[in-house]
Structure 1
Amino acid sequence: MKRLVLIDGSSYLYRAFHALPPLTSADGEPTGALFGVVNMLRATLKEKPDYIAFVVDAPGKTFRDDLDEQYKAHRPPMPDDLRSQVQPMCDIVHALGIDIIRIDGVEADDVIGTLAVQAADAGIDVTISTSDKDFAQLVRAGSDDNGARAGIALVNTMSGSRLDDDAGVVDKYGVRADQIVDYLALMGDKVDNIPGVDKCGPKTAAKWLAEYDSLDGVIANADRITGKIGENLRAVLDRLPLNRTLTTIKLDVDVGRVPTELVLRDQHVDELRALYTRYGFKQALRDLDSGQGSAVTEAASDTGSVRNTAAGYARSPVAVANEPDPALAAPGEYEGVMTREQLAAWVAKLQAADEFALDTETDSLDAMRANLVGLSFAIEPGFACYIPVGHDYPGAPAQLPREAVLDALRPLLEDPDKRKIGQHGKYEMHVLRRHGVRMRGYSDDTMLESFVHNATASRHDMDSLALRYLGYQTTKYVDVAGKGAKQITFNQVAVDDAVKYGAEDADITLRLHRVLSAKLAAEPALEQVYRDIEIPLVPVLERIEANGVLVDADELRRQSADLGKRMLAAQQKATGLAGRTFNLDSPKQVCALLFEELKLPALVKTPKGQPSANEEALEAIADLHELPRVILDYRGLAKLRSTYTDKLPQMINPDTGRVHTSYHQAGAATGRLASSDPNLQNIPIRTVDGRRIRTAFIAPEGRRIVACDYSQIELRIMAHLSGDEGLLRAFAAGDDIHRATAAEVFGKPIGEVSGNERRAAKAINFGLMYGMSAFGLAKQLDVSRGEAQDYIGLYFSRYPGVREFMDNTRQQARDRGYVETVFGRRLYLDNIDARNQGLRAGAERAAINAPMQGTAADIIKRAMIDIHGWLEAHADRALMILQVHDELVFEVDTGFVDTLLAEVGARMVAAAQLRVPLVVDSGVGANWDEAH
């Protein structure tokens, strides 16, 4: 029987783009998606189909857009790196001799469906090469032995899976092929923005269709379905028929040709050779020149590639940049170091290496309390060792003494000229310091390489990076330690399992460094951010975290008691106002009371359209009734108590008597540091109770707390970036910038500006930096939207450079897909061209704010590095103990305060050369609140 292969080109292009890393050719052209599609095509052609076509979506709207204007409305635009690969893909498909089909007004699915049914009805077996589950509605086996009605099968060439009959569809989805459309209609499709029945997943949809057979049957019996899911179903009954229409593949498209015309043409060998050469597809080029141009790779090439069959994609869905060395994706060879001879041999290897990767295994995630269980090292990809020193389960094999191992490694680990590579190496620094080793020479961190290269492209943990950049599935912690209540700590993990897991960590870290360092080297500005800011900051943060901050636990307990009393009073007051008891912590009970019993207007809704009881909702009605304000007050007190006054005393380290936060460099995409366990950056300072918490952060006897804070740094950066003469002039004169802005906006001398006018100007200054609209400004100032718009218009008329900067920044973001800080850090903005107005507006706000927030983050990081270097010679007299956004906090000997103020202030000011002066405000006190 003849066979037709219909390739869903759009599906594979997107799938390859997201599965493969951002590969590039020698000239820097993106090739990741192209590489995946080409290998899939070569695998398909090897099977020698009788007929073949490559079907892609045509640009523009389809009939589904006319049926539902929200259809696919939330889909972001095609990324530039993908868009640039579409034409090369078409060029290669054409050169391979395959017809490309695109039809206006319909989707590729409809073209494929039409051709598939036509061919099968004509006795031609059909294989649809796709990863799209929607096509399961077309699956059917041949009807008889005479070939009068051939079958339609689905094959996912990248994973090797196949569906060729109804039993296979039922096994995979739980419904028959003829029920797939109804199944999809019930569940909806987030990707295509088709809203289904809320909370109806695959199991529920399959259950309903098993009971009622079809969507019509489910609709007819909707009243019999109980519970919340039944309510959800009944709420969208009118929508479901449209869903069914949207998810039904059209089978009567005028394609303009019949299946038997889709024969494979002769290949354009010279054109293919030029294309394969241009994009660096070496194995494809070798096969072409050896006469096997349609054959998929039988073994990994000497420059790396995919696995040996099409199905190999299931095991290794990601390849590395430009067909890398196979060592970067192959299994490693790992050695457990159990004897002194093995240890000596590895020490010699490490001494001879220019650089090495290292990793530690411990019995805790808390670096300040973790005990060392083992160390791993790698000096070349694919070869690593694990040295167990603390596995103490019953029957554990004899291991080298921890101190003996550390003594042997100490000269290497403390050598500043021996380059070390890690993944989140700050943790290793803490662990080693606690065990008497101060690691120096930390030169590279794969987490930070990934973060600087593209902060939003991926998670930056090792498992995610290994999959994205190496195509390597790492051994997970749960694989060796179990999960849930039965999970064991690493000291209880069998040594043989620990060798594989621990050595792999060092090995993969080294492999990732080889890939990511090359990516950064190709972007000099980003490499400079990495080398000059992020890597030098690692030991600075390690030192700050280890220093910790002294906390007065008794003071916090007193505050907790006071907050508890006031919470009780608020609760009693709320009960009196409501006329009955209710749970102030229950949004459901609060909504019922406010909006059903008291009939207050529900001005803020949840995403599902229900009345909200969040802070914004209560603030919106706080002027209409006394109760919402009482609830807000209660919640504010409860949050302070649970988050800080109750929790902080429990987080005091018993060994140091201090609280040790953790700082995260790869957290916020703008480069701002984040803090956790505990988060000390979110303690409120605008309320008396919030400031009171800071009084519990104290200096020990003989010392003082010093706080140094950049003054209005983001506004100064705005002046620098915009070059606006009015802002530059105000900052150069040392004017109160908000008062100066008010004078400009309201057209009066600066000395005549009222308090309310200054407040309005401050709201405008900060609001515009964060993309605030006239609506938002009106709400903040409690004025009409028209009045707020007038304020903004006046502002831009007085500061035209700011408007020009904002317009130019938005345009640059659209053109390049990213914005930059003064120092070259990038923030990519995937939604800057989104069709959805909300997503696009959010990206535009980020485009304006990120250069300022990111530059401020870069400046204080540069200052911290410089100050840390100076403080090393004065470690006995002063400690840097906290970083909170634009503020640095120190613990200082009383007699050293003046020296520190002068040095720190000067170094913070010198951290950047802007068109306006940087100003640092400083304070000194017995506690953080006094110093702030």
Structure 2
Amino acid sequence: MTRLVLIDGSSYLYRAFHALPPLSNAAGEPTGALFGVVNMLRATLKEKPEYVAFVVDAPGRTFRDDLYPDYKANRAAMPDDLRAQVDPMLTIVEALGMPILRIFGVEADDVIGTLALDAASRGIDVTISTGDKDFAQLVRPGVTLVNTMSGSVLDADRVLEKFGVRPERIVDLLALMGDSIDNIPGVEKCGPKTAAKWLGEYGSLDAVIENAAKVGGKIGDNLRAALDRLPLNRQLVTIKTDVELDSTPEQLRLRDPDVDSLRTLYARYGFNQALRDLGGGGDVPAPKEKEPGRARGTGYVAAPAPTETLDPALAARGEYETVLDTAQLDAWIARLQAAELIAFDCETDALDPMRANLVGLSFAVEPGRAAYVPLAHDYAGAPAQLSPDTVLAALKPLLEDPSRPKLGQHGKYDMHVLRRHGIALAGYAEDSMLESFVLNSTATRHDMDSLAARYLGYSTLRYEDVCGKGAKQIPFAQVDLERATAYAAEDADITLRLHRVLHAKVTAEPSLERVYRGIEMPLVEVLATIEANGVLIDAAELRRQSSDLSARMLALQQRAFALAGRNFNLDSPKQLGALLFDELKLPVLVKTPSGGPSTNEEALEAIADQHELPRLILDHRSLAKLRGTYTDKLPDMIHPLTGRVHTSYHQAGAATGRLSSSDPNLQNIPIRTEDGRRIRQAFVAPAGRRIVACDYSQIELRIMAHLSEDPSLIGAFESGQDIHRATAAEVFATPLDQVDTNQRRAAKAINFGLMYGMGAFGLARQLGIGRGEAQDYIALYFSRYPGVHAFMERARQQAREQGYVETVFGRRLYLNEINSRNQGQRAGAERAAINAPMQGTAADIIKRAMRSLHDWLVPHASRALMIMQVHDELVFEVDADFADTLVDAAKSRMTAAADLRVPLVVDAGIGNNWDEAH
């Protein structure tokens, strides 16, 4: 549909001016507001609207001044630095090819309102780009609001959600509330909730006026005192939609930009990135911050490229302070105590939070202003710093206060560091990494540097920038305080800035906010606790296993040499390829991206039935992986102080929401092989305790039954049948008690295969049957479970139409290749569209269960610990006489973690080690 973007230029100019630090170019001209508006305009142009207008207020009186002489009487004069940027702004807007509208006698709001309704009546889709709430009265089919700074979008439903009234009642709401900025007095003490309540009860402003006598209390007295001025208020806050204009919407077509003029303007004002995007222009001297603070960043990143959300407040490095004495510390603690949200970050001497020591702490409570408190910088000539004991003692009450919300970027790391330094962080309320992950798990990496580039158009200082690289890299404690402050304070500052952008995006989607607020944020504390608990490892048992694996690997190697008739390097793809395909003439069934013969696992599996050697190589690789990843490595990972192994869980790892782990990776220990089970035997309970393992049974198939609503599948689970046997009975039309082993195996392959998008070819290969026969099996399956087939089609269609699929709880997985012209990419996205809702829902369920069990475990912490989460399984260490109690609690809470159409079932076991507990 043809689109018109109407830009509230006056609003954005003021907002950018007050949001940004006071920037200037090399000549000393102020550029902050100009910089912010230009970035917003470039972001708008990236969307390529057909029509656009940049609307600003004209000087002089308007009809509202005639209606009410005190209209806007309390507004201060425009600051000189802002006034100096108005003409340059209009010059750049003109050069960008945007029509500029300034109509005398009315405000920019009235011009926008007139154009919006006129365009909508002509079938043109209208977007009003503004941050002014008054424009909500214009929202209707074909007219939406977008705040380019925050990324939020308002349609009629979102207006109702945000203000409590529909767009047609916004004028009445504003009349009751008044507007202090425009000096319009409303009903005293009447805020948006009270106004919305009255309008909900009586229906309109006129009806509120008629029923004013019924409103009790002091607020009722205030309403009755304001009755005479409410009709005038309504006139003042109503946006005119009948202004006489020389331009029609169709005359506002976006023109080609004047590139030469833009190049000159961008060079003059130091907008480097904008200049580079034009092409053919190099860098120019960057803008400088006026009145620099005591310790700021050492570089300035000029105008960023248009991004998904471009907040001009984030363009420059902020005013960063190095805290070196108690007076500064006390002043910052006072700021932190008064803040609505505290952004913080820890600087340490190691990546492992279980071993890292504090080097310093940084804080921010408003964009562009942050502090770094160094604690352990020890380079030659380093200034005296406050003692860690003094700083931590002063901060401890604040950081441990659950009523003071904190914000971090991957704050779980900082929780560990602070805990090890005697502070139990409480009130951890927001995490910018998790906001990004919930918003779009596949859009970008979720580290701070990547997020700043994507959402802020901001290039952060990297660790390598201040510490160096490779052999010349120095510890952070050796970095001079000016550069350390630039880096560390920026971390807190950018975290806060990211939160402001990402939080607006997440909260604009209620389902995503529920995932963030109800699943991901509550899990941070749980994972930190599990990681800190750790798991006891029998190092002697692992060493015995390593010795055994080495002996078996040697035997396999000798057998491989005998088959080849000579020695060769089993780990060399080149030597192995020459042996298999050149000498033994085995067929090349899998190729590398460059077209050569592959010797990866898939390739060897494909020819393992044609010669003994490929299977020997696969077995050798499997044993080598177990030895290198687990039996050799785990003993070295035992913490010297705790005597336990502490893995790290990653919430923002798998796109579906599944947790992953590293150092060690617990998710990849084989469960179906004897060697994998032996490794689990080394995960042990200390004397007097037991290991308890609780595992969801066939959870993804149960979610499939819930999502598909297939009566036969639901019936099988409700009756407690063996689902694979029940499927075999359906597919092969065989009585349940007569299903044989092969039929059950085929049914199991179909059940799981379809969830992962397996087609006839894959099923045929897995079952060792012909492709035609496999296709018949799939057809039989869908004929017996038509609801499953319908669900799969719905999932593909939703993905094609919306670009994403959702879990039961509203988590989204975006599928960027779903409409790709590349058949392979498209097919992969279609498989993901089917599987992701099940995998993601399973992830959501176990996360909810973990939080529930964590809360139950808190008063029993001396008797039981949650120590691992692996796939659909939770593992505990518990006093032997408390194990049965724990099993009952775990089953109860795990089965109650979701309300599906079929029951959730949890299998539990108790043993001296992890393997025995299965």
Tell me the TM-score normalised to structure 2 length. 0.70
Q: 2:302 aligns with which of 284, 300, 315?
A: 315
Aligned partners of 1:548 and 1:91: how far apart in 2?
Answer: 53
Specify whether residues 847 and 25 from structure 1 end up closer, same or farther in structure 2 by C-alpha distance, changes over 3 A only: farther
**Equivalent residue, structure 1, for 2:767:** 781
Aligned partners of 2:334 and 2:723: how far apart in 1?
Answer: 62
Does residue 720 (structure 1) correspond to residue 698 (structure 2)? The answer is no
Does residue 437 (structure 1) correspond to residue 423 (structure 2)? The answer is yes
Does residue 837 (structure 1) correspond to residue 823 (structure 2)? The answer is yes
Per-residue CA distance 1:697-717 (angstroms, 9 max, x = gap): 000111000000000000000
Aligned partners of 2:309 and 2:536: how far apart in 1?
Answer: 52
**Equivalent residue, structure 2, for 1:881:** 867
Does residue 595 (structure 1) correspond to residue 581 (structure 2)? The answer is yes
Does residue 527 (structure 1) correspond to residue 505 (structure 2)? The answer is no
Bigger Cα displacement from structure 2, 463-472 vs 400-409 = 463-472
Per-residue CA distance 1:823-842 (angstroms, 9 max, x = gap): 00000111111111000000
Aligned partners of 1:299 and 1:930: how far apart in 2?
Answer: 73
Aligned-residue offset at 1:492: 1.4
Q: 3-state DSSP class of the match of 1:658?
A: coil
Per-residue CA distance 1:519-576 (angstroms, 9 max, x = gap): 1111011011000000000010001111111101110000000000011111111111
Bigger Cα displacement from structure 2, 420-429 vs 328-337 = 328-337
Q: 1:701 aligns with which of 687, 695, 701?
A: 687
Aligned partners of 1:513 and 1:438: how far apart in 2?
Answer: 23
Per-residue CA distance 1:145-171 (angstroms, 9 max, x = gap): xxxxxxxxxxxxxxxxxxxxxxxxxxx
Specify whether residues 906 and 309 from structure 1 end up closer, same or farther in structure 2 by C-alpha distance, changes over 3 A only: closer
Does residue 862 (structure 1) correspond to residue 848 (structure 2)? The answer is yes
**Equivalent residue, structure 1, for 2:249:** 271
**Gaps in structure 1 of 5+ consecutive residues:** 1-19, 49-86, 93-266
Q: 2:885 aligns with which of 886, 889, 899?
A: 899
Specify whether residues 781 and 549 from structure 1 end up closer, same or farther in structure 2 by C-alpha distance, changes over 3 A only: same
Aligned partners of 2:689 and 2:679: how far apart in 1?
Answer: 20
Q: 3-state DSSP class of the match of 1:802?
A: helix
Q: 3-state DSSP class of the match of 1:378?
A: strand
Q: Which amino acid aligns with 2:763?
A: L
Q: Which amino acid aligns with 1:929?
A: D
Q: Which amino acid aligns with 1:679?
A: N
**Equivalent residue, structure 1, for 2:47:** 33
Q: Which amino acid aligns with 2:674?
A: V
Per-residue CA distance 1:111-143 (angstroms, 9 max, x = gap): xxxxxxxxxxxxxxxxxxxxxxxxxxxxxxxxx
Q: 3-state DSSP class of the match of 2:915?
A: helix
Specify whether residues 316 and 24 from structure 1 end up closer, same or farther in structure 2 by C-alpha distance, changes over 3 A only: closer
**Equivalent residue, structure 2, for 1:256:** none
Does residue 499 (structure 1) correspond to residue 499 (structure 2)? The answer is no
Q: Which amino acid aligns with 1:839?
A: Q
**Equivalent residue, structure 1, for 2:620:** 634
Aligned-residue offset at 1:358: 0.2
Specify whether residues 41 and 684 from structure 1 end up closer, same or farther in structure 2 by C-alpha distance, changes over 3 A only: farther
Does residue 427 (structure 1) correspond to residue 413 (structure 2)? The answer is yes
Judge conservation of contact 1:722–1:802 (CA < 8 Å) in 2.
yes
Q: Which amino acid aligns with 1:271?
A: P
The 5-angstrom pairing of residues 658-677 of structure 1 reads: 658-677=644-663
Q: 1:548 aligns with which of 501, 520, 534?
A: 534
**Equivalent residue, structure 1, for 2:322:** 336
**Equivalent residue, structure 2, for 1:191:** none
Does residue 678 (structure 1) correspond to residue 686 (structure 2)? The answer is no
Bigger Cα displacement from structure 2, 33-42 vs 595-604 = 33-42
Per-residue CA distance 1:65-102 (angstroms, 9 max, x = gap): xxxxxxxxxxxxxxxxxxxxxx989999xxxxxxxxxx
Q: Which amino acid aligns with 1:480?
A: V
**Equivalent residue, structure 2, for 1:649:** 635
Judge conservation of contact 2:50–2:253 (CA < 8 Å) in 1.
no
Does residue 412 (structure 1) correspond to residue 390 (structure 2)? The answer is no
Judge conservation of contact 1:567–1:638 (CA < 8 Å) in 2.
yes
**Equivalent residue, structure 1, for 2:438:** 452
Judge conservation of contact 2:302–2:315 (CA < 8 Å) in 1.
no
**Equivalent residue, structure 2, for 1:248:** none
Aligned partners of 1:30 and 1:845: how far apart in 2?
Answer: 35
Q: 3-state DSSP class of the match of 1:671?
A: coil
Q: Which amino acid aligns with 1:579?
A: G
Does residue 511 (structure 1) correspond to residue 497 (structure 2)? The answer is yes
Aligned partners of 1:460 and 1:697: how far apart in 2?
Answer: 32
Aligned-residue offset at 1:478: 0.6
Aligned partners of 2:263 and 2:275: how far apart in 1?
Answer: 17
Aligned partners of 2:670 and 2:251: how far apart in 1?
Answer: 64
Per-residue CA distance 1:582-640 (angstroms, 9 max, x = gap): 11111111111111111222222222221111122222222222222211211111111
Specify whether residues 643 and 769 from structure 1 end up closer, same or farther in structure 2 by C-alpha distance, changes over 3 A only: same
**Equivalent residue, structure 1, for 2:447:** 461
Per-residue CA distance 1:327-348 (angstroms, 9 max, x = gap): 3222200000000111011111
Aligned partners of 1:89 and 1:565: how far apart in 2?
Answer: 73
Aligned partners of 2:794 and 2:669: how far apart in 1?
Answer: 36
Aligned partners of 1:771 and 1:677: how far apart in 2?
Answer: 31
Q: Which amino acid aligns with 2:788?
A: V
Does residue 475 (structure 1) correspond to residue 489 (structure 2)? The answer is no
Q: 3-state DSSP class of the match of 1:931?
A: coil
Specify whether residues 595 and 420 from structure 1 end up closer, same or farther in structure 2 by C-alpha distance, changes over 3 A only: same
The 5-angstrom pairing of residues 158-557 of structure 1 reads: 270-271=248-249, 315-319=302-306, 324=311, 326-557=312-543
Q: Which amino acid aligns with 1:578?
A: A
Aligned partners of 1:579 and 1:696: how far apart in 2?
Answer: 39
Per-residue CA distance 1:275-308 (angstroms, 9 max, x = gap): 89xxxx9xx9xx9xxxx9999789999xxx9799
Judge conservation of contact 2:96–2:262 (CA < 8 Å) in 1.
no
Counting aligned pairs with the same residue, the percent is 67
The count of corresponding residues between Structure 1 and Structure 2 is: 682
Specify whether residues 913 and 655 from structure 1 end up closer, same or farther in structure 2 by C-alpha distance, changes over 3 A only: same
Judge conservation of contact 1:416–1:441 (CA < 8 Å) in 2.
yes
Q: Which amino acid aligns with 2:382?
A: A
Aligned partners of 1:468 and 1:487: how far apart in 2?
Answer: 28
Does residue 850 (structure 1) correspond to residue 828 (structure 2)? The answer is no
Judge conservation of contact 1:24–1:31 (CA < 8 Å) in 2.
no
Judge conservation of contact 1:45–1:294 (CA < 8 Å) in 2.
no
Specify whether residues 435 and 465 from structure 1 end up closer, same or farther in structure 2 by C-alpha distance, changes over 3 A only: same
User: Stretches of 4+ moved more than 4 A in 1?
Assistant: 23-26, 29-32, 35-45, 87-92, 267-270, 272-276, 292-301, 305-314, 319-323
Q: Which amino acid aligns with 2:515?
A: V
Tell me the TM-score normalised to structure 1 length. 0.69
Q: 3-state DSSP class of the match of 2:47?
A: helix
Judge conservation of contact 1:318–1:467 (CA < 8 Å) in 2.
no
**Equivalent residue, structure 1, for 2:148:** none
Does residue 819 (structure 1) correspond to residue 797 (structure 2)? The answer is no
Aligned partners of 1:920 and 1:829: how far apart in 2?
Answer: 32
RMSD (CA atoms): 3.4
Q: 2:572 aligns with which of 575, 586, 611?
A: 586
**Gaps in structure 2 of 5+ consecutive residues:** 1-34, 55-88, 98-123, 130-244, 285-300
Judge conservation of contact 2:725–2:739 (CA < 8 Å) in 1.
yes
Judge conservation of contact 1:24–1:322 (CA < 8 Å) in 2.
no
Judge conservation of contact 1:300–1:306 (CA < 8 Å) in 2.
no
